[in-house]
């Protein structure tokens, strides 16, 4: 199977990087799960058959060329951990971003509408440092993206060398929220109003998660960032979506994975 059939990769990290860095945003195709999890469900916390999930994750790992696919116990917070060694799934830390400078370790972020953000940077001597973050509205609001950049800098990455790519996530046209949600953002900064537009329902608004993540990345002072601009909610054939599953009254939902790794 051609791995390019079930992930997308973008050139935002630069041509000189692609030979030693794998980065990909995987969708829902190319796996073995069925039913509401069809087919590349990588969510170990879902009610899918564990054997199917493990096979899906093995397929992802094989396409990265890495030795081990690591994940986090994602909690919509702002903590970033530094990866010095591999860990077992049972020992994965509660955090929403991780960084490493170790080759062969594939950093995997699970999403189903939240924004996966992949990072690449270099130390002063040119050695690579990578990061991956899970940026739902809560994590983005609390500062998970700046925590990831800080973590990379802690490993020696030069901040002005860091690039980031925002992967497929729910788009503003699909993300309706209530008045309390808007008020929370305005209490933090009135300028956040620009990420909201009125919906057709009274006292409800449409929130631009990708745009808000881009603002947070701007504030980090990194070299550049890119947004793939793909809506997970409307692209039912290609991506899992928590909100879509909720609207369809489905009992559970699949999770796609976004991965970055340094080649051996």
Instruction: Give yes or no for a contact between 41 and 51, defined as CB atoms under 8 angstroms apart.
Output: no
pLDDT in the model for residue 57: 97
pLDDT score recorded for residue 9: 61
Position 20 scores a pLDDT of 84
CA dihedral 219, 222, 224, 225 (to 10 degrees): -60
Residue 133 CA to residue 225 CA, distance in Å, equals 14
From CA 108, how far away is CA 72, in angstroms rounded?
Answer: 8
CATH architecture of 3-169+224-262: 4-Layer Sandwich (3.60)
Residue 74 is predicted with a pLDDT of 98
Question: Which residues on neighbouring strands pair with residue 128, listed in sequence order?
Answer: 122
pLDDT score of 203 = 96
Instruction: State the pLDDT at residue 13.
Output: 45
Q: What local confidence, expressed as pLDDT, does residue 8 receive?
A: 63
For residue 84, the model assigns a pLDDT of: 94
Give me the pLDDT at residue 264, please: 84
Going edge to edge, which strands form the sheet with 21-26?
A: 7-8, 21-26, 256-262, 105-111, 68-70
pLDDT along the chain (264 residues), means of 10: 45 48 93 97 97 96 91 98 92 97 96 97 95 98 98 98 96 98 98 98 97 98 94 96 98 97 90
The structure's pTM equals 0.95
User: How confident is the model at residue 150, as a pLDDT?
Assistant: 98
Task: Give the span between the Cα atoms of 135 and 74, in whole angstroms.
Answer: 10
The arrangement of strands across the sheet holding 196-198 comes to 176-178, 204-207, 196-198
**CA 103 vs CA 20, 100, 130: distances in Å:** 9, 8, 10
């Amino acid at each position: 199977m051609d791995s390019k059939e079930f992930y997308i990769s973008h050139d935002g990290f630069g041509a000189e990087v692609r030979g030693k860095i794998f980065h990909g945003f995987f969708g829902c195709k190319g796996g073995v799960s069925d039913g509401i999890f069809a087919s590349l469900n990588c969510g170990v916390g879902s009610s899918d058959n564990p054997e199917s999930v493990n096979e899906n994750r093995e397929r992802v790992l094989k396409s990265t060329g890495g030795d081990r696919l690591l994940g986090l116990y994602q909690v919509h917070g702002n903590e970033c951990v530094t990866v010095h060694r591999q860990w077992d799934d049972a020992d994965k830390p509660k955090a929403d971003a991780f960084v490493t400078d170790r080759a062969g370790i594939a950093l995997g972020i699970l999403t189903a509408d939240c924004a996966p953000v992949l990072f690449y940077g270099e130390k002063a001597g040119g050695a690579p440092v990578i990061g991956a973050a899970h940026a739902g509205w809560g994590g983005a609001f609390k500062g998970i993206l700046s925590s990831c950049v800080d973590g990379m800098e802690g490993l020696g990455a030069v901040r002005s060398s860091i690039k980031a790519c925002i992967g497929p996530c729910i788009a503003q046209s699909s993300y309706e929220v209530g008045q309390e949600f808007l008020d929370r953002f305005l209490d933090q900064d009135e300028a956040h109003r620009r990420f909201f537009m009125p919906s057709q329902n009274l006292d409800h608004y449409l929130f631009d998660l990708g745009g808000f993540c881009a603002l947070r990345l701007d504030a980090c002072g990194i070299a550049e960032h890119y947004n793939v601009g793909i809506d997970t909610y409307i692209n039912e054939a290609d991506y899992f979506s928590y909100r879509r599953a909720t609207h369809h009254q489905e009992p559970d939902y699949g999770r796609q994975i976004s991965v970055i790794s340094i080649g051996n």
